[in-house]
């Protein structure tokens, strides 16, 4: 069985934020006005976390791009009272927007804080409105949304492969953040397929997962910086 997963090489990440932007435009993530953003209501399915290490002047900046971890043992799925958040056969954790009642229990249960709530009806600036992605549904007011590993791209890739009567190739299905990354810090594929790069990289000595001791079995691996 396919298990979609990701490996992010923190040595390669420059913190440019291209993944954030690509994700936002690919997935019709709403733009939040500045006053709302100050309240902590920004939506960002992919977010480059930053951390300053050391004392001035010997400081360095650490960047950690954070998508949904797509846990194999997802705490958010267990607590949802209406099964609006689910994990599919290929390990992708998704959200059924028309079913979600907006109780935000999943958001509280997620140790990685990657579930986002629509506090108001979603808005876009006029200039962006014309470029909404028709493949991704626009969320309504009062529901939770989250990273889906650009699952709509998998559907499109499968259809193309079927039409061309061939197997799905590794490069056929790549999420927007992976595609855009200028330093190729993010690698995506089937964790269980030895031919895919992710399944080799996740056995790298530098590979770790976030909050691994919680037993959530995240499918996003991080290659720790060498220094």
Partner 1 sequence: MRGEVAAKLAKLGTDEQRLLRPLVETSRGFYLVAGGLGVIALWGLFAYYLQVRYGLGRTGLNRPEYWGIYIIDFVFFIGISHAGTLISAILRVSKAEWRRAITRSAEFITVLVLGFGAIQPIVDLGRPDRLLNVIFHAQLRSPLLWDVISIGLYFTASTIYLYIPMIPDLAIIRDSGIKAPWLYRMLAAGYQDTPTQRARLERVIGVLAIAVIPIAVSVHTIIGWIFAMTLRPMWHSTIFGPYFVMGAIYSGIAAILIAMTILRRAYGLEQYFKEIHFDYMGRLLLLFSLLWFYFTFAEYLTAFYGGEPSEMRTFWAKVAGPFAIPFWTMVATCFVIPLALMSRPSMRTPRGTLIAGISVVIGMWLERFNIVVPTSVNPRWEMEAGGHYFPSWVELSIMAGTFAAFILLYMLATKFFPIISIWEIKEGREQSVREVSERVAGYLPEHAPVLAGD
Give the footprint of partner 1 on this chain (CB under 8 A).
Answer: 36, 39-42, 49-51, 64, 66, 75, 78-84, 99-105, 107-109, 111-113, 116-121, 140-144, 210-211, 214, 216
Asked whether the beta carbons of 93 and 87 are under 8 A apart, the reply is yes
Q: Nearer to partner 1 by C-beta: 110 or 178?
A: 110
Q: How near is the Cβ of 66 to partner 1 at its closest, in Å?
A: 8
Query: Distance between CA 146 and CA 87 in Å, rounded?
Result: 13
Query: Distance between CA 91 and CA 99 in Å, rounded?
Result: 20
Q: Nearer to partner 1 by C-beta: 116 or 173?
A: 116
Residue labelled with tokens 């309240």 = 39
Q: How near is the Cβ of 27 to partner 1 at its closest, in Å?
A: 17
Asked whether the beta carbons of 221 and 8 are under 8 A apart, the reply is yes
Q: Nearer to partner 1 by C-beta: 71 or 186?
A: 71
Q: How near is the Cβ of 123 to partner 1 at its closest, in Å?
A: 11
Q: How near is the Cβ of 51 to partner 1 at its closest, in Å?
A: 6
Phi (first) and psi of residue 58, to 5 degrees: -90, 60
**C-alpha torsion angle, residues 7, 66, 21, 201 (rounded to 10):** -10
Q: Nearer to partner 1 by C-beta: 88 or 113?
A: 113
Look up residue 164 and give its DSSP letter.
T
Q: Nearer to partner 1 by C-beta: 14 or 155?
A: 14
- The gap between the terminal CA atoms of the chain, to the nearest Å, is 36
Q: How near is the Cβ of 76 to partner 1 at its closest, in Å?
A: 10
Query: What would the two tokens of residue 137 be?
Result: 């549904």
């Amino acid at each position: 069985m396919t298990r979609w997963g990701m490996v992010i090489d923190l040595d390669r990440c420059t913190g440019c934020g291209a993944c954030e932007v690509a994700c936002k435009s690919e997935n019709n993530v709403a733009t939040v006005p500045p006053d709302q953003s100050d309240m902590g209501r920004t939506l960002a399915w992919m977010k480059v976390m930053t951390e300053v290490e050391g004392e001035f002047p010997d400081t360095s900046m650490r960047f950690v791009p954070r998508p949904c971890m797509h846990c194999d043992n997802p705490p958010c799925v267990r607590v949802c009272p209406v099964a609006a958040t689910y994990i599919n056969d290929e390990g992708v954790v998704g959200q059924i927007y028309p079913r979600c009642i907006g109780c935000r229990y999943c958001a509280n249960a997620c140790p990685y804080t990657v579930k986002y709530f629509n506090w108001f009806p979603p808005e876009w600036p006029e200039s962006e409105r014309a470029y909404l992605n028709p493949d991704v549904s626009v969320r309504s007011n009062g529901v939770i949304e989250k990273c889906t590993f650009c699952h709509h791209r998998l559907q499109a890739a499968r259809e193309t492969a079927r039409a061309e009567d061939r197997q799905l190739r590794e490069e056929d299905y790549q999420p927007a953040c992976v595609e855009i990354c200028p330093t190729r810090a993010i690698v995506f594929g089937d964790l269980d397929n030895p031919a895919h790069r992710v399944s080799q990289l996740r056995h790298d000595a530098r590979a770790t997962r976030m909050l691994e001791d919680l037993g959530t079995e995240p499918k996003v691996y991080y290659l720790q910086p060498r220094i």
